[in-house]
Amino acid sequence: MKGYVKSFMQRGLIFGGFGPIILGVIYLILELTVKDFSVSGWEIFLGIISVYMLAFVHAGASVINQIESLPIARSSLIHFGILYVAYITCYLVNTWIPFDWVVIAIFTGIFVLAYFVVWITVYLIISKTSKAFNTKITKDLSAS
């Protein structure tokens, strides 16, 4: 378990720096598309810290899927929960969505859909690649 925590921290620290870069891009797009867009120093500071933490948690959470003692369904559920809490917290703290149960329900629906589309896509790609790899190994072994 200690190794997984260390890996979580290392991945988070390595990729966490991308969070502020992403925030900068978001603010740039908003400035170019929203009339009279402005942010205060506090909003920039809060955005940098919260998006850094979001990127840190997102990168670190990838270690959950490598814990072999966890069944895939449980590790996916834990991974989903970690990401959902990180995203909803970041969005609410930055007031990118209002604290309104209808809005939170819509956000949750979109998050669930996006999460499962990504993981189904990853599963299908890995499955196809594994089958191709196994077929190649079988052919190579039978040719020997």
pLDDT of residue 1: 65
Across the range 99-112, mean pLDDT stands at 96
Task: Name the CA dihedral angle for 49, 50, 56, 60, rounded to a multiple of 10 degrees.
Answer: 150
Q: What single string gives the DSSP state of each residue in 110-134?
A: HHHHHHHHHHHHHHHHHHHHHHHHH
Decide if pLDDT at 105 tops 80.
Answer: yes
Q: How far apart are alpha carbons 97 and 33 in whole angstroms?
A: 18
CA gyration radius for the chain? Answer: 20
pLDDT of residue 109: 96
Q: How far apart are alpha carbons 54 and 85 in whole angstroms?
A: 10
The pLDDT mean for the chain works out to 85
Cα–Cα nearest to 47, from 37, 55, 36: 55
pLDDT in tens, 49-81: 888 888 888 888 878 877 778 888 898 899 999
Q: Is 62 exposed, middle or buried (0-12, 13-18, 19+ CB in 10 A)?
A: middle
Q: How far apart are alpha carbons 15 and 97 in whole angstroms?
A: 25
pLDDT band at 93 (very low <50, low <70, confident <90, very high): very high
Name which residue leads in pLDDT, 73 or 82.
82
pTM for the predicted model, two decimal places: 0.72
CB 98 within 8 A of CB 76: no
